[in-house]
Chains A and B, each alone.
Chain A
Amino acid sequence: AQSVSQHNHHVILSEAASLELGCNYSYGGTVNLFWYVQYPGQHLQLLLKYFSGDPLVKGIKGFEAEFIKSKFSFNLRKPSVQWSDTAEYFCAVNPPWWDSSYKLIFGSGTRLLVRP
């Protein structure tokens, strides 16, 4: 089945530690990829997106993600996390063009807790 997998459901880090959250998708072909963040009590906000071009994408708040087509992966990274990065992170994929449904498929999310 077509899906988006986020392998880490809960991650706990100390401030200044490096972060990498995994995301794998099962679609073949060209896809659009997104990372969204949900801070406690708030709605989802876009962190970054990949459509084409440079596979290393930079987003807001120092986040970046690397698209590796051969691995069907779009991992999120940040060199040094802050307490304010505590949130839930969702990877999302827009299926290829031949999938005529206009859907954004989300992963199950990763809850990040950053300890001061």
Chain B
Amino acid sequence: NAGVTQTPKFQVLKTGQSMTLQCAQDMNHEYMSWYRQDPGMGLRLIHYSVGAGITDQGEVPNGYNVSRSTTEDFPLRLLSAAPSQTSVYFCASHRAPGRINSPLHFGNGTRLTVT
């Protein structure tokens, strides 16, 4: 049981490049989300999904797109990378589509640097 798997672990981009951060979970969780972690700001929610085909914006969605074509996968796309998107990105999943009343399962993170 791998849990939540994120790839890549590290990535360096140039301003204007696009890329996709991958997230997959094998726990049949309905709820998946993407957070970014920045020093002194904690974790901020980018986008989330309560099930396949359903996504919604979090606190800081600008510059990011998501899709949820399957229960297992929830990729995060950076359309045109900017230095302000330098951060550590965490994908998380949760077993139920409703309120978060049990722990989130986090991936190991992707450290992204945009130069």
Contact = CB atoms under 8 A, between A and B. Distances in A.
Contacts of A108: 40-42
Nearest to B40: A108
Interface string A88-112: 0010001001000111111111000
Interface in A7-42: 9, 32, 34, 42
A104 B45 contact: yes
A46 to B, nearest CB: 4
Given A94-B99, A103-B58, A43 B108 contact: yes
A102 B47 CA distance: 11
A51 interface: yes
A32 B40 contact: no
Interface in B64-114: 90, 97-104, 106-109
A44 B43 CA distance: 10
A44 B90 contact: yes
A94 B45 CA distance: 13
A34 B101 CA distance: 10
Interface of B: 31, 33, 35, 40-45, 48, 50, 56, 58, 90, 97-104, 106-109
20 contacts: A32-B101, A34-B103, A43-B106, A43-B108, A44-B43, A46-B103, A46-B104, A94-B99, A94-B101, A101-B56, A102-B48, A102-B97, A103-B48, A103-B58, A103-B100, A106-B42, A106-B44, A107-B42, A108-B40, A108-B42
